[in-house]
A and B are shown apart, each in its own frame.
Chain A
Amino acid sequence: MDKIKNLRFVYCALPDLDLASIKTEEEFDSAEGKFISLPLAVEVEGNHPKRDGFFYFKEKDEFFFVDKGKKKIIRRASSPILVKDGVDLAKCIRIGAEPCIIKSSEEGKIPSIREELRIAMFLTNSKDIEALRNAEIYVV
């Protein structure tokens, strides 16, 4: 979290965007094909979840999707950043530190985190994740 604490996005007063149509998903590759998801995984321990979704397995330090009950590994991770809100997630995307993770107890916050990310993208004139990676920032 220290990596992103002092980052500040430059507010864009004239985004050439419609907030409602900003894309917050990113494409991930695996041996089994491509998966599209918000770059935010739920941290899990023990057996892998039976429900579909995007997860991070702490013991093996890996990201994976569960698709129709089957586990598809995306990549090995390297100390992914635990985020608390959509601005944290936006900052991590900006510095190339996504996907990020959220505790399983906070999984219910994902829809609001997605909307917060969308607003952050709107206010930085970022129409998609790729544009957000180039959003203007500075350090305070």
Chain B
Amino acid sequence: MSGDQTKSRKLEHVQLSLSRDVQFKTLTTLFEQVDLLPNGSPEKINISSVRTGTKFLGKMINAPIFASGMTGGHEQVAKINFDIAEGISEAGLAMGVGSQRAMIEDPSLAYTYDVKKEHDLILMGNLGAAQTTKYSIDKIDGMVSGIEADALCIHTNPGQEAAQPEGNIDFRGVTSAISEISSKLGKPVIVKEVGNGISRDVALRLRNAGIYGIDAGGSGGTNWIAIELYRSKGKSNAEIFKEWGIPTAQSLIEIKSSFDGFVTATGGIRSGKDVAKAVALGADACGIGMPLVQAQSKAGATGVHDYLTNIIEELKAEMARLNCRNIEDLKKIRFNISPYFTDILRQRISEGKLNLLMNRTKH
């Protein structure tokens, strides 16, 4: 894979995600199968007294929301990262960048990820799982330090790679490499999927690998297999896998049944209500991806900031409805899960874990 190929792929990804309908069609996040129930307090809370601040990688952010790492590595996408950084910084939140492989192959592209030069924010670097067996710890450390990232996200994406015309389809040794990076990097390592979800068993393997956190990266939002199928122009054998994956809410619950570290939920988060549901189900924060790229393409940093402000207001309104003063209250809120979703969970998590979950539902 040449640097030029990587670079042009970065641009194509953004162009396709903005110009084509690349959302999941049949798989949803399953958050619509969850209803949050107001706590029984007789005292109603005013929205102005709701506090959404929470800890993220050891520092406070204004709400449990971050910009999921999406792009970088091409001069035409640099402004996306810079505008998102400006909007995120003004909103007091955190962000990730897209895969930094491009800057390893061509160091002159490092500036497209270097958002902390202008903005004080919490930043997560990014590398593909298939690249973890190809680069030394020193190289990865240099990549992370080069943009002053506070953590490293390793994105795993076998579905996307299988559909990609030039995909890296050799994942042998990746779990061991992730474990080695976790123990030697000196910064938190978070593993995330890109839209097909993390299962209970993969979460268990990651727990045993010693990682700091897991992002569900579940199905229901942007569909990266669909994006790669557009790029392959009908020559891929992966067409029938377009609706494969684990819905975000299901992935979140499966992860929490195997791993009690830092957990985030990305994949189809589109409203403050989605954020509230994810937090109630155990997420420490929620990642938002494509909607921020779309907001940036329409109105730059202002568009990003307005989008984030709106989502935070929606979250506050939902928390007020639920009588939650703060995020800690929200984490304890009761909820109902539909019979359809409960039946899936019954097949996927242990009876003990399911009972713990059901204890928080209203009978």
- B199 engages A136 (CB within 8 Å): yes
Q: What's the least CB distance linking B196 to chain A, in Å? A: 5
Q: A13-B199, A16-B174 are in contact. Are A119 and B205 (CB under 8 A)?
A: no
Q: A87-B240, A116-B240, A138-B348 are in contact. Are A13 and B169 (CB under 8 A)?
A: no
Is A10 engaged at the interface, CB distance under 8 Å to the other chain?
yes
Cβ contact of A13, chosen from B156, B162, B173, B238, cutoff 8 A? B156
- B347 engages A138 (CB within 8 Å): yes
**What residues on A are CB-neighbors of B348 within 8 Å?**
10, 138
- A11 engages B159 (CB within 8 Å): yes
Is B166 engaged at the interface, CB distance under 8 Å to the other chain?
no
**What residues on A are CB-neighbors of B282 within 8 Å?**
none
Cβ contact of A19, chosen from B129, B162, B173, cutoff 8 A? B162
**What residues on A are CB-neighbors of B129 within 8 Å?**
14
Measured CB to CB, the nearest residue on chain A to B157 is A13
**What residues on B are CB-neighbors of A11 within 8 Å?**
159, 196-197, 199, 244-246
Is A112 engaged at the interface, CB distance under 8 Å to the other chain?
yes
- B193 engages A13 (CB within 8 Å): yes
Q: A14-B171, A14-B175, A20-B170 are in contact. Are A138 and B240 (CB under 8 A)?
A: no
Cα A55 to Cα B324 in complex, Å, equals 65
Measured CB to CB, the nearest residue on chain A to B171 is A15
Q: What's the least CB distance linking A131 to chain B, in Å? A: 14
Q: What's the least CB distance linking A106 to chain B, in Å? A: 15
Measured CB to CB, the nearest residue on chain B to A139 is B347
Q: What's the least CB distance linking A116 to chain B, in Å? A: 6
A-contact 0/1 string along B321-362, CB 8 Å cutoff: 000000000000000000010001001100000000000000
Q: A12-B202, A13-B197, A136-B199 are in contact. Are A116 and B170 (CB under 8 A)?
A: no
Task: List A13-50 residues whose CB lies under 8 Å from chain B.
Answer: 13-20
Is B158 engaged at the interface, CB distance under 8 Å to the other chain?
yes
**What residues on B are CB-neighbors of A20 within 8 Å?**
169-170
Is B20 engaged at the interface, CB distance under 8 Å to the other chain?
no
Cβ contact of A12, chosen from B199, B240, B241, cutoff 8 A? B199
Q: What's the least CB distance linking A94 to chain B, in Å? A: 14
Cβ contact of B169, chosen from A18, A85, A116, A139, cutoff 8 A? A18
- B158 engages A18 (CB within 8 Å): no
Cα A122 to Cα B225 in complex, Å, equals 15
Cβ contact of B162, chosen from A10, A122, A136, cutoff 8 A? A122
Cβ contact of B202, chosen from A13, A19, A116, A138, cutoff 8 A? A13
**What residues on B are CB-neighbors of A120 within 8 Å?**
241
Task: List B226-264 residues whose CB lies under 8 Å from chain A.
Answer: 237-238, 240-241, 244-246
**What residues on B are CB-neighbors of A123 within 8 Å?**
158-159, 162, 241, 244
Is B59 engaged at the interface, CB distance under 8 Å to the other chain?
no
Is B4 engaged at the interface, CB distance under 8 Å to the other chain?
no
- B162 engages A119 (CB within 8 Å): yes
Measured CB to CB, the nearest residue on chain B to A117 is B237
Q: What's the least CB distance linking B108 to chain A, in Å? A: 32
Cα A139 to Cα B246 in complex, Å, equals 13
B-contact 0/1 string along A95-128, CB 8 Å cutoff: 0000000000000000010011001101100000
**What residues on A are CB-neighbors of B196 within 8 Å?**
11, 13
Cα A68 to Cα B202 in complex, Å, equals 46
Q: What's the least CB distance linking B291 to chain A, in Å? A: 23
Is B201 engaged at the interface, CB distance under 8 Å to the other chain?
yes
Is B198 engaged at the interface, CB distance under 8 Å to the other chain?
yes
Q: What's the least CB distance linking A55 to chain B, in Å? A: 24
Is A86 engaged at the interface, CB distance under 8 Å to the other chain?
yes
Q: A13-B193, A86-B240, A116-B237 are in contact. Are A136 and B201 (CB under 8 A)?
A: yes
Q: What's the least CB distance linking B189 to chain A, in Å? A: 14
Cα A13 to Cα B344 in complex, Å, equals 19
Cβ contact of B158, chosen from A116, A122, A138, A139, cutoff 8 A? A122
Is B117 engaged at the interface, CB distance under 8 Å to the other chain?
no
Is B363 engaged at the interface, CB distance under 8 Å to the other chain?
no
Is B134 engaged at the interface, CB distance under 8 Å to the other chain?
no
6 A-B pairs within 8 Å (CB atoms) are namely A13-B217, A16-B173, A18-B171, A87-B240, A138-B344, A140-B340
A-side residues, CB < 8 A to B, are: 9-20, 85-87, 112, 115-116, 119-120, 122-123, 136, 138-140
Leading 10 A-B pairs by shortest Cβ distance:
A19-B169, A115-B237, A138-B347, A18-B170, A13-B193, A13-B156, A119-B162, A13-B202, A11-B196, A10-B199
